[in-house]
Structure formats: structure tokens, C-alpha cells
Amino acid sequence: MYENEKKVSAMEALKHVHSNMKLGLGTGSTTKYFLDGLGELVKSGKITGITGVPTSLRTADLAKSYGIKIENNLEGIEIDFDGADEFDGSGNLIKGGGGALVREKIVAYNSKEVYIMADHSKFSEKLHSFPLPVEVLPFMEDVTKKNIEKTGCKATFRDGKNFKSDNGNYILDCRFDFTDVALEKKIKMIPGVVEVGIFSGITTKVFIGENEKCRVMDF
Ligand code: 5RP
């Protein structure tokens, strides 16, 4: 859906990349447009000396296929480029639809700037449309699920426990009527929870594809 808007936002964000930068590389279909564009610039030699810190195994494979140098070292990441499942007017995000939320949050938290690329449909006045992804350890996970549900949601194991993250954990997709950012800390306190897909106070820009144009929100 909205493939062209995803591409428009990714191409606008890509304009901020120049030679010799260290970048966080997100995960998902919008980030793939960004990586495809970056790959072309690297392959043609228009941009050189890029180092990428990938947020998933599939992003690492794609970046490598374009000859982008990969490093698992968080030091000195200038800009992290990633997508989102939902964003609000303050740059708060729901992420993890692709199951990469743990590594995405580690990389975003440790980057000087975090640029989010999204089509216009991902905007919500209040985060609520996308079920909140929560990564949990595969140990007594049914109890962890019940404890998460006590915070006011209905949780479902992604793909009936057939989905495992790159870290070997399960993802619970949690339906709340309204995802208050305060839930991030509340859920993270529950034993067995590895990470929560609420990203709050991290975003510095959102590139929003709107038909053929891109609007940028700064924070
Ligand atoms: C993966 C993510 C993605 O950024 C999010 O799911 C958006 O993906 P897409 O660009 O395919 O809509 O958080 O864990």
C-alpha cells in the first residue's frame, strides 16, 4: 500500500546522506527503498565511505549486496534511517511490524539523529491503530502474555508462535484502545518482556510521503 509515497519519503531522506557517514539502517519495506537508493549511489561511486549498522539480518544482507560496509558497533552513528508502523504529531512511534524492534530501538537510541520515513497513512493523532508489538523471551511466555494483558490489551502471538525474531524471541501483538507512551515503561517492567515497540522522544525528523510530495516534520 502507498508504495509510491514510501519511495518518495525514502528518496527525500536519502538527500541527507553524503560520503564517509556512519548510518543506522532500519528494517522494512520503506527502508528498503532507502537502501536501494543508497545502494545505487554507492555502486556508482557517487557516494563513498559509507558504514551501516543494520537493525536486522535481512537489512545486513541487503546492504552487503550493495557493497555497503557493515559494522555492529554503535559508536558515532550520525543518522539512523528507519520506517514506522504508526507515528503521531510529536514523533512518537509504534514499531516492530517487521519484528525488528529490539535492534531498531538499540540503534535509534544510540544515533545522533533518527529520521523516520513513512507514507501518510501511518499518521495518527493518537497512537492506537497498529497493534503494539512486544518482544518476549521464549520462557513461560504464556504467563508473560497474561501479565501484559493486565495492562489493558488483548495480546496475540505473532503467527501463532511460528514467528521468531532475529534474537530468537516471540512477538506479541497487543491491541489497546489507545497506546499511551507511558505504557512503554509499564510493559517493560514485566518479567519476560525484552522490548516494547513504543519509541518515544527519539525521532528527530519524519519524512511523510503525500502523493508525489514529501512533507518533513522536525522535532
Ligand atoms: C520493523 C519496523 C518497520 O520499520 C515498520 O514495520 C514499518 O515497515 P514498512 O516500512 O514495511 O511499512 O518497525 O520492525
Interface predicted TM-score (ipTM) of this complex, two decimals: 0.98
Count of C-beta atoms within a 10 Å radius of residue 122: 26
The architecture in CATH of the region 3-124+200-213 reads: 3-Layer(aba) Sandwich (3.40)
Residue 26 beta carbon below 6 angstroms from any ligand 1 atom: yes
Atom of ligand 1 nearest to the CA of 95: 13
| Residue 30 assigned to a binding site | yes
Q: What is the pLDDT along the chain (219 residues), one digit of tens a residue?
A: 899 999 999 999 999 999 999 999 999 999 999 999 999 999 999 999 999 999 999 999 999 999 999 999 999 999 999 999 999 999 999 999 999 999 999 999 999 999 999 999 999 999 989 999 999 999 999 999 999 999 999 999 999 999 999 999 999 999 999 888 999 999 999 999 999 999 999 999 999 999 999 999 999
Question: Cα(98) to centroid of ligand 1, in Å?
Answer: 5
55 lines ligand 1 (CB under 6 A): no
Q: What is the pLDDT of residue 146?
A: 98
**Which long-range CB contacts under 8 A does 62-68 form with residues at least 24 apart?**
62/32, 62/35, 63/25, 63/35, 63/39, 65/39, 66/35, 66/38, 66/39, 66/40, 66/42, 67/39, 67/42, 67/43, 68/25, 68/35, 68/38, 68/39, 68/42
Q: Is 159 annotated as a binding residue?
A: no
- Which pTM does this prediction carry? 0.97
The verdict on whether 104 is a catalytic residue reads yes
Specify the domain boundaries for CATH 3.40.50.1360 within the chain. 3-124+200-213
Q: Which amino acid is located at 136 in the chain?
A: V
91 carries a ligand binding annotation: no
CB-ligand 1 contact for 96 (6 Å cutoff): yes
- State how far the Cα of 95 lies from the Cα of 137, in Å rounded to an integer: 18
Catalytic residue among 5, 12, 86, 104: 104
> Which pLDDT belongs to residue 128?
87
Q: Domain 132-196 carries which CATH code?
A: 3.30.70.260
Looking at the chain, the domain(s) classified CATH 3.30.70.260 span: 132-196
Q: Taking Cα atoms as reference points, which of 206, 36, 193 lies closest to residue 115?
A: 206
